Homo-oligomer: A and B are copies of this chain.
Amino acid sequence: MTEREPSRALAHPATGAIRLEAVLHALSDPIRLAIVRDLAGTETELSCSHFELPVTKSTTTHHFRVLRESGVVRQTYRGTAKMNGLRRTDLDALFPGLLDRVLAAADAESARLAEAAGLRA
């Protein structure tokens, strides 16, 4: 079940078709989790080229597709740029508090790993 969209628009699951397992899978990859954390930290949409990721362009495209098809991210074309926004309202309505807990857990893990790296240095 996907929403009807104009041509050149990208397929997204309707809110009711978003599945927890797919959302968790989308968030379980370090690169995708980093993208989601960046998007959560801004009020605006970000273009795919905004993200400086340590992977090839085609891998980047794959990660954004997983995020879009799972319902985590909404992608829209603005001219030739693909803009990305977190579907926070949809996710919060379906799974209250889940995204916030994942983001807090990611922050805590980053802080722990940075501290451990500092201790080793």
Query: Which A residues contact B (CB, under 8 angstroms)?
Result: 16, 19-22, 24-25, 27-30, 33, 94-98, 101-102, 104-106, 108-109, 112
Contact = CB atoms under 8 A, between A and B. Distances in A.
A88 to B, nearest CB: 14
Contacts of A16: 112
A112 to B, nearest CB: 8
A94 B98 contact: no
Given A21-B29, A21-B33, A33-B21, A101 B104 contact: no
18 contacts: A20-B33, A20-B102, A21-B29, A21-B30, A24-B24, A24-B28, A24-B33, A28-B28, A94-B108, A95-B101, A95-B104, A95-B108, A96-B104, A97-B97, A97-B101, A97-B104, A98-B101, A98-B102
